[in-house]
Amino acid sequence: MNNRLKVLRAERDWSQAHLAEQLGVSRQTVNALETGRYDPSLPLAFKIARVFGQPIEAIFIDAE
């Protein structure tokens, strides 16, 4: 699954550590999400959407 996390984070000038703190996860988890090595759980995806104020579909793109 592709995502726009890195772009959204950069637009806000947030570090991976800052985003991780807001989400309650490690910086390594944020890195794994951004590089596509890890797909978030549904609760984490909803939390990410809330942090960025966007619907899940605007952040995560199905890469079929």
Successive 10-residue mean pLDDT values, the chain, 64 residues: 94 98 98 95 97 96 77
For residue 60, tell me if it sits in a domain: no
Q: How many CA atoms lie within 13 A of 61 on its CB side?
A: 7
pLDDT for residue 1: 82
CA 47, distance to chain mean position in Å, is 9
Q: Which of 11, 40, 36 is nearest to 25 (CA)?
A: 40
For residue 25, tell me if it sits in a domain: yes
pLDDT for residue 64: 67
Which CATH number goes with the domain that contains 18? 1.10.260.40
The domain in which residue 29 lies consists of 2-54
For residue 50, tell me if it sits in a domain: yes
Contact 55, 40 (CB under 8 A): no
Domain count, the chain: 1
The pTM assigned to this predicted structure is 0.91
Q: Hey, what are 55's tokens?
A: 């619907």
